[in-house]
Amino acid sequence: AQSVTQLDSQVPVFEEAPVELRCNYSSSVSVYLFWYVQYPNQGLQLLLKYLSGSTLVKGINGFEAEFNKSQTSFHLRKPSVHISDTAEYFCAVSRFQGGKLIFGQGTELSVKP
Amino acid sequence: SQTIHQWPATLVQPVGSPLSLECTVEGTSNPNLYWYRQAAGRGLQLLFYSVGIGQISSEVPQNLSASRPQDRQFILSSKKLLLSDSGFYLCAWADWDRGHLEAFFGQGTRLTVV
């Protein structure tokens, strides 16, 4: 079975600073990996996904993530954050070719001026 | 294009009352369908998922049930709500076999049990 651990429940950061949100997963089979963003009282929006190929994945809003198979990690990064990036971020995993989609506990990113 | 509809947006129900939340998807066929619950500080908990009509997998033993009476309709139900059923419920769909290699979410239902 798959599982996901987001290592930080809250990440405060100042505007224009870099940020990294950490995600580790566990699976005995090949997986797909995802990062989603959720703004207050809304559904989830996909930021980026890793399916195969290049381990560095670029997404929307200037975010990127790197798949590290040996460390079973998929950390999300942005070199310079904006106030508008304040939201909750979720890492998710599904087995290769889909099926059950498991989410982490979420990381609340708070960008301060 | 595909769309997902989830309603109602908000719901206040008394303890012991029944529940029915509905989710429908348009523009695709035989999608995988999911129900998640989001409680404060507890992330997104997968409740049920379905790979086809009448095929429901339950992930967490609880006071809820799910049904898929039609290909693109997914219903979350309860016979008697508990206070602990309060939360934000999200429906999602994915179509792994046809290249939609991500899950698409509805806008959610905020359920408050009083």
Mind listing the pLDDT tens digit of every residue in chain B (114 residues)?
A: 788 999 999 999 999 999 999 999 998 888 999 999 998 767 899 999 999 998 999 988 678 999 999 999 999 999 999 999 999 999 999 987 766 678 899 999 999 999
Residue A82 lies in domain: 3-112
The alpha-carbon gap from A16 to the nearest alpha carbon of chain B, in Å, equals 27
Burial B3-27 (b: 16+ CB within 10 A, else e): ebebeeeebebeeeeebebebbbee
Q: Which residue has the higher pLDDT, B63 or A82?
A: A82
pLDDT at A31: 86
**Residues of chain A with C-beta less than 8 angstroms from the C-beta of B105:** 36, 43-45
d(CA A86, CA B61): 34
Give the separation between CA B102 and CA B114, rounded to whole angstroms: 35
Question: Quick one: pLDDT at residue B61?
Answer: 67
Q: Are the Cβ atoms of B102 and A100 closer than 8 angstroms?
A: no
Is there a contact between B102 and A98 if contact means CB atoms under 8 Å apart? no
Nearest CB partner across the interface for A106, out of B34, B43, B59:
B43
Q: What is the pLDDT averaged over residues A35-61?
A: 91
- What was the pLDDT predicted at B59? 87
With an 8 Å Cβ cutoff, the interface of chain B facing chain A consists of 32, 34, 36, 41-46, 49, 51, 57, 59, 88, 90, 92, 94, 96-97, 101-103, 105-108, 110
A6, A49, A104: residue with CB nearest B101: A49
Nearest CA in chain A to B90: A43
- How many structural domains is chain A composed of? 1
Ordered structural domains, chain B, with CATH? 3-107 (2.60.40.10)
Instruction: Give the list of residues 6+ apart from residue A97 with CB closer than 8 angstroms, or none.
Output: B96, B97
pLDDT of res. A35: 97
Give the least confident one: A18-27, A98-107, B98-107: B98-107
The rounded mean pLDDT for chain A is: 92
CB crowding A75-103: b at 16 or more within 10 Å, else e: bbebeebeeebbbbbbbbbbbeebebbbb
- CATH number at A100 reads 2.60.40.10
